[in-house]
Structure 1
Amino acid sequence: MTYKLLLTVAFATVAQLAGAQTFPDRPITLVVPNPPGGLVDTSARLLSEPLTRVIGQPVVVDNKPGASGNTAYQYVAKAKPDGYTLLISYSGYHVGNPALFEKLSWDPLKDFTPIALLTISTNVIAVHPSIPVNNLKEFIAYAKANPGKLNYASQGNGSVSHIGTEIFKQTTGVDMVHVPYKGSGPAIQDVLAGQVQVFISTPPSLMQHVQSGKLKGLAVTGKNRHPGMPNVPTTAEAGLPSFQLESWVALYAPAGTPAPVVTKLTDSVKQSLALPEVKERADTAGIEVRYLNPGQMDTLLKKELPFWSKAIKTANITLD
């Protein structure tokens, strides 16, 4: 390495460290891979206001939907790694897209630095009342006795509801026919009408219909019961501890973001999520605030990537 190049590297390092010490001194942008509304956007807006107060600079939400989330992921992956452009990452994209797309312009591990886990949303296994079952064990037995006769809805090919239900099928050995929709809205309408009998989706889509008795809630796929459906058991309580399905939302920075900036961000996020009003707003939205630090987030991602890849390939799931 030449003397001139050494000086260039040294000056760049000093400049980077100086920037990290004054961080943040201007607004921070949270890039969301989804349109307004829904789990991911709700999580971003849940964080932006308290983080603005904690970190001392405006934190703005920028929705960049498109290409199954890839538009936002590529944008942040190529952004300057200075902590001012961050990704609100959705598990369905972060662990699903690498297996669904033959070629991606971003790598889930190499192109991003984890900051924190923000929220978790469990899912609900719900069936139309016409299905003569009262609990999860009865449903599994009924489905096995009627292979290929039950239809299940999803929010679209490659969605968490699609992949998650295929994992449920692989776990239990039942055979159901997939009926994809363009979002949870049209899916829930056909489930309520009985044209499709099964839907595994998040509480915001199903909770009111389970509460009203229009659908039977058989189990919640997380570690705890949902406060809005206290009488619906977890899958573990219902006799299927091997099946859990949680959608998570996390905060990521571009790879190469200085360690002091990452520390500042994760500490500020932790403080923001601990505020009582944040939990209250999350409970109202039907989601759970759950903080994990960068190391824990990295462990979670490395665990889920091969699991989801295997499930997608085993079920031969494509976006077609």
Structure 2
Amino acid sequence: MDTLSETADKVDQGLQNMGLDGTSVKQSLKDILNFKEYLTEQLPALTGFCIKVVLSIIVFFVGRRIISWIVNIMRKSLERANIDAGVVQFISSAGKAVLYMLLIFNIAISLGVKESSVAALLGTAGVTVGLALQGGLANLAGGVLLLIFKPFVVGDYIIQDQTNGCEGTVAKIEICYTTLLSIDNKKIVVPNGTLSNSTIINVTAKENRKLEIKVGISYDADIRKAKKVIEDILKADPDTRSDNSEMVVFVDSLADSAVIIGLRVWVPTDAYWKTKWRLNQRIKEEFDANGITIPYNQMEVYLHPRK
């Protein structure tokens, strides 16, 4: 078989016989033949690399399924151990992140990257990402603090007491974020760092909650009768702690146009709102039935004729 040089010489000779300058054609032909020879030499290595890439993609998708399986087993094991749901969610989220890092590390090594190079790259990337994402690290640290001190757990209703704060039922506590569900079922995602540095009002932390209602009555009404009506309502209500000594009905203040009667009573936390709404309605109905007027703001205008 002719070599590349011999083939190029033959082509050049043929062009000269036809009276043409074959120098540029000869050079182009040499370049093409050299490139073809290079591809032929590199084909085994290129094929091997493509096979490695395909296998790495397959390993990644298989690894995803294995990671999901491991995380599910870990979650179920923690739940069987009666560990707090927030801790379970946090550990599952952190474990998933670690397993994905190990998977990517192994895939990089299988592609021919040295372990020392991957470790150095991860270290450099960790420092760079750490400096760029200081808020993310703060969220991670905040999540750890929330799990250690437990100002709330999954299922609690909390209020973030600050400017532009939010409130809702805690649905998930993950590695960097906590998810709340509002009363109208809106999903609220709050960074753990923000929660750990905020004043948190845990509405459902205790089994019982003190309910306070105030209502105004006319100055012409019988105060003792109004208080007796409210006391009877409280004793008859199924959710009020009528046996508690802290159940009180009192005259709160003497306002401009009404005498303000107040009540305080303990009720179950999960029945707080429905009890409040029910008592408001019962008080209005019983006051109407007993002729006790609830005044409203009004203005009286007197016209004096000119003399």
**TM-score interval, normalised by the smaller of the two chains:** under 0.3
Larger radius of gyration: 2
Which structure has more relative contact order (CA 8 Å, sep 6+)? It is 1
